Amino acid sequence: MSAELICFERACRTRYSVTDVLYNCPKCGGLLEVSYDFSRIDAGGLRQLWRQRRMSNHPLDQSGVWRYREIIPFLDDPAHAITLREGCTPLLDAPRAAEYGGLRRLTFKHQGFNPTGSFKDNGMTCGAAQARRLGMRRVACVSTGNTSASMAAYAAAGGLQAVIFIPHGNISYGKLAQALEYGALTFQVEANFDQILKLVRVLAERLGIYLLNSINPFRIEGQKSIVVEMMDQRDWNPPDWIVLPGGNLGNVSAFGKALRELRDCGFIGRIPKLAVIKAEGASPFHHFMKDPSRDSFHAVEHPETLATAIKIGDPVSWPKAWQEVAVSGGLTEEAGEKEIADAKAVIGLCGIGCEPASAATLAGIRKLTGAGVIDRDADVIAVLTGNVLKDPDYIYKYHTGQLTDPGGSAIEALFGNRPVVVPNDPGRIAALLG
């Protein structure tokens, strides 16, 4: 199946070769997306084939991304693929979180079950494969943590050198440790994410390094598989809502593209509504969506949130996200630091657990059901983007009453679970337990 790059801007739509090293349209500066001719796709046959592949021991079939390779057919040779058996993440019922969120039922799609513990692996396997296909030797990213961990792992697995740029002092040690462990060359830059991204784009062009942030359209193709797998797990019955946290907005861009393609190809009959939840201190997209026009998007110069994975004030994928939220009939919301922290603790009480940014979903759902936007009986899937151990310091501080917001104010832990210090005395401990 033929593939090409196409400018996302409707007034441009200039086409380029899929092997051109581009992140923006040279003609108008717009974002790029990968386009395919799906006119001959057989939805019924592929549904059956994809189910059969679950029983296969072939490495590509065991991947929850490459198993669905007919919906992301940009590679000319599958030998370029780098897989760590990414995807294959579960749908988990969470009754206690549902009650807290004002729903009768809530299901989590937990991307923290990925090899490096976040949804980034779904996109990185495709981005790294494209790097190998292009003959690149070095790959780079700017990261608040999860992207760096994922890129470092896939670069190591694929024989590439990873070069990582992170905001100095603004990354969880759990995430930084992964990048270091996987052998990445790591630079801690004294600037925020958005400032560093501009720097790295200059360096990538000057030094011939392949950029693997979500502005890379092949990353978006991999992240489409999250929705494809979700629909497969639900026997191709879409929910009413898909709720996800918003950082650089690559995920909602990928989700919307996947849903449109699945509908147009006959896999699903309708598109669920997309709800994107931002952190209050890093929420330009939410404020833009209140009164959207192309000239009214204003970046946040100094974003602030403890949910570091979504601490992005100038999300590069906002034009795509704008379209996908609108096409789905969805919306945006924002959540405060305490709302996110308490929601995270509730998710933990379900035996599930997630990183702080993931919990923005439940915090947002609670606000949307409270406002009557999401009905109590709605069929809702919330995406958890990262593993619970991505930011262990946050968890410890919350449960011991030491967590403070970016302004230094204490966050009251509604669901705090402080450890109890006891003497080495079975009688005393038995009395406490009794």
Lowest mean pLDDT among 58-67, 148-157, 202-211, 227-236: 202-211
Residue 78 resides in a domain: no
In this prediction, residues 406-420 reach a mean pLDDT of: 96
Strand 91-93 with 107-110, pairing = antiparallel
Q: Is the four-CA dihedral 421, 351, 378, 329 of positive or negative sign?
A: positive
Helix axes 173-181 and 392-399, enclosed angle (nearest 10):
160
Q: Among residues 221, 267, 255, 378, which one has the least CA distance to residue 328? A: 255
The per-residue b/e assignment along 364-392, b for 16 or more CB within 10 angstroms, e otherwise, is: bbbbbbeeeebeeebbbbbbbbbbbebbe
CB-based contacts of 157: which residues, under 8 Å, 6+ apart?
A: 82, 84, 128
Q: Which domain holds residue 262?
A: 91-114+222-399
Structure confidence at residue 97 (pLDDT)? 98
pTM here is 0.95
What digits encode the pLDDT tens for the residues 102-127? 999 999 999 999 999 999 999 999 99
The length of the chain, given as a count of residues: 434
Q: Is residue 124 part of a domain?
A: no
Per-residue pLDDT reduced to its tens digit, 247-287 = 999 999 999 999 999 999 999 999 999 999 999 999 999 99
Residue 335 placed within a domain: yes
pLDDT band at 172 (very low <50, low <70, confident <90, very high): confident
Residue 12: inside a domain:
no
Judge contact between 39 and 266, C-beta under 8 A: no
Tell me, yes or no, whether 79 lies in a domain. no
Sign of CA dihedral 49, 53, 66, 271: positive
Q: Which residues are 142's β-sheet partners? A: 165
Domain assignment of residue 177, yes or no:
no
Residue range 11-21: mean pLDDT, rounded: 97
Summarised one tens digit per residue, pLDDT across range 54-79 is 999 999 999 999 999 999 999 999 99
Mean pLDDT along residues 286-308: 88
> Per the domain annotation, does 141 fall within a domain?
no
Name residues whose C-beta falls within 8 Å of residue 296's C-beta, 6 or more positions apart in sequence: 288
CATH assignment at residue 259: 3.40.50.1100
User: Residues near 147 by Cβ (< 8 Å), separated by ≥ 6?
Assistant: 120, 124, 141, 212, 213, 214
Host H or E run for residue 382:
strand 380-384
Query: Is residue 170 scored above 70 in pLDDT?
Result: no
- Whether residue 153 is contained in a domain is answered as no
Dihedral (Cα; 230, 234, 237, 242), 10-degree rounding: -40
Number of compact structural domains in the chain:
1
